[in-house]
Amino acid sequence: MAVERHRPDYVVLEDPGGKTRKRGQSLKILQALVHDLKDNSQAHCLRERSHRYANKHEEAIALAKDHPELESELPKRHAFYDNEDPKIAYFEALSLVEKEIRAHSKGT
């Protein structure tokens, strides 16, 4: 498991029990990760994804403006019938981490 290999201090994941858009295999993987984190007593937090933008690509553009070092990873917009670029996951993760940081700075 990646968590065992990289040994992070803290893990932030989308809450699979919340209002998630994840379905099928993606949801099963997310649920398995949460289960493994709990089994291994890994410090973690589950956050619901905010949907403040029209779509993931718009969110990625906004995040890239705040984090210019990630501009080269910004995926091209895809047509509705194409598979999503895997790089979008970097921006989804960053969005969750930023939400966790905001929550801690507010004391929640």
Q: HSE of 36 in the Cβ direction (CA atoms, 13 Å)?
A: 12
Domain ranges of the chain: 1-49, 51-108
Q: Counting every residue, how long is the chain?
A: 108
User: Is 90 exceeded by the pLDDT of residue 11?
Assistant: yes
- The CA distance from 46 to 29, in Å, is 14
Per-residue pLDDT of 37-62, as tens digits, reads 998 889 999 998 877 898 999 999 99
Spatial separation of the C-alpha atoms in residues 99 and 9, rounded to whole Å: 17
Task: Check residue 61 and give its pLDDT.
Answer: 95
What is the residue type of 72? S
* pLDDT for the residue 7: 82
Quote the pLDDT of residue 12: 93
What are the respective helix, strand and coil percentages of the chain, to the nearest 5?
A: 50, 5, 40
